[in-house]
Amino acid sequence: MDNNSTQGIAIDTFSIKKSEFRTAQQYDDATQSHRDEGHTFHIVQNGTVYIEIDFQKYKIVAPAIVYMHPNQVHRMMDIRDMTVCSLAITNDHLNIPYLKYLEEIAPAKPLILMPKEYKTVNELSKFCLNFSKENDNRLNYSLFKDSCNTLVAYIISIFLDQEKPSNKLSRMELVTKSFQQLLETNYCTTKRAAEYAKLLSISTHYLNECLKSTTGSTVSQRIQDRVILEAKRLLYYTDKSVKEIAFELGYDDYPYFSRLFTKATGLSAQNFRRKRYD
């Protein structure tokens, strides 16, 4: 997506057919695991696509919307003649309230769009595409940026409609939500349940009680799961050594991290990395 990509926003519509890949190498290149620099929104207008997001596989049938956070590793696994409108936008170009909501809903599962939702999303995306091609208006970029933010806001509203409103969450659900937000920004440096309980001004016992009630997991398990997810992402997406990844995730004791990863996944870190070439 070239239009305005140097300015942090890009949008385009693509029609992709599997038959268009002339060689197996071209197809392999198109299906490699990767991360995007910005937040990406894919409006699947026609066809079917099989994708993997953070090692979870999904079959997406149009009409649908797929949102991916910049942290997420993903790859296209297979397609069935697809048309998709894709928007990529960096943090600097998102309205601050929208960025906050995106952090809250991530990771978001792909959603099937209802007819009314699809119609609105389609109309908004056409506005964005039109503004992306206008170069003779002095306010062109402002119009383009604002229209893209409007599209993002509407997409966020669709995802939020799937969730329970904050004013209807129980005390335990609110504590769990606050913990999840803290975990997302602190998992590399904060590994103990007691530290999170202190940040939330509650007891460790109560924090564990909240997590067990709402997610079925303990605080320690959630912390470990988040660390292992990031380790998997880095093993797939980067060429960093396992030792470098361990250090980046806050483990000075490299052998301990290796044992932790193997216990959690059933594979050594090196064997897990080799899977991306299978």
What's the pLDDT tens digit per position in 155-183? 999 999 987 677 788 999 999 999 999 99
Kindly report the average pLDDT of the chain as a whole number: 91
What is the sign, positive or negative, of the torsion defined by CA atoms of 15, 17, 18, 22?
A: negative
- For residue 27, the model assigns a pLDDT of 67
Instruction: Look at residues 39, 138, 43 and name the one whose alpha carbon lies nearest to residue 95.
Output: 39
**pTM for this predicted structure:** 0.85
SS3 content of the chain, % helix, strand, coil (to 5): 55, 20, 25
- For residue 120, the model assigns a pLDDT of 97
Instruction: Look at residues 138, 139, 49, 134 and name the one whose alpha carbon lies nearest to residue 86.
Output: 49
Q: Quote the CA–CA distance of 165 and 17 in Å, as a whole number.
A: 40
Q: pLDDT category, 44, cuts 50, 70, 90?
A: very high
The answer, yes or no, to whether residue 6 has pLDDT greater than 60, is: no
Q: If you average pLDDT over residues 1-5, what whole number do you get?
A: 50
Q: If you average pLDDT over residues 212-236, what whole number do you get?
A: 96
- For residue 275, the model assigns a pLDDT of 79
| Rg of the chain over all Cα atoms, to the nearest angstrom | 21
Q: If you average pLDDT over residues 147-159, what whole number do you get?
A: 97
- For residue 26, the model assigns a pLDDT of 66
Q: If you average pLDDT over residues 91-103, what whole number do you get?
A: 94
Q: If you average pLDDT over residues 101-122, what whole number do you get?
A: 94
Q: pLDDT category, 79, cuts 50, 70, 90?
A: confident
- For residue 5, the model assigns a pLDDT of 47
Residue ranges of domains in the chain, CATH in brackets: 5-161 (2.60.120.280), 168-277 (1.10.10.60)
